[in-house]
Amino acid sequence: MLNQNNFWVCSEGSFSLAEEPSREPSYVSMYQGEVSSIYWYTEAGVYRKSAHWGKVLHCHWPLLQLPKGHSWSKGPQGAHGHAVGDWVLRNGIYTMVVGFCSWKMLRERNALAKQLARQHFENVGNVEALKWL
C-alpha cells in the first residue's frame, strides 16, 4: 500500500477539493528557491496544496474540481521546471489550491511509467526514490 514514504515516486490518484489543514505541513516541496507544493500527511491520506495538478513528474494526480472563480491552464511546457500538467488560475495568476486523496485511492502506476521513473531517478541519483520502485 502506498503511504507518505512512497506515494510521490510513481503513483496515481484523484484529489478532491479540500480545506487546508490547520497545522504545520508535513513536507514542503521547493524548486529553485520557491514553494512548489505543500503536503500534510494523515492516517487517512494526503492533503496537497499546489498550483499544478494532473501530470506531476512521474505521478498522475488530477484535481477533480476547482473552487469557484478558478480555471485550468495547460501552462508553458515545463513551467517552474518540472510539472507539465494542468495549472490553476485565478484572475490570470497561477494559484495554489488544496486537494485530498485517501491512501486507499492512491495506486502504483503501470510498469512502463515505473520504468521511466526508474530511469529518471537513476539519472538524477535519487537513491531514496529508487528503493521504492
Give residue 131's pLDDT.
57
Strand 27-31 relative to strand 107-108, pairing? unpaired
Residues 86, 72: contact at Cβ < 8 Å?
A: yes
Q: Are 133 and 121 in contact (CB under 8 A)?
A: yes
Q: Are 51 and 36 in contact (CB under 8 A)?
A: no
Sequence-separated contacts (24+) of 123-130 with Cβ below 8 Å: 129/8, 129/9
pTM (whole model) above 0.85: no
With a cut of 50, which residues of the chain have pLDDT below it?
A: 78-83
| Three-state DSSP state, 122 | helix
- pLDDT tens column, 11-39: 889 999 999 999 999 999 987 888 989 99
pLDDT value for 102: 95
Whole-number pLDDT of residue 80? 43
Q: Looking at residue 79, what is its pLDDT?
A: 43
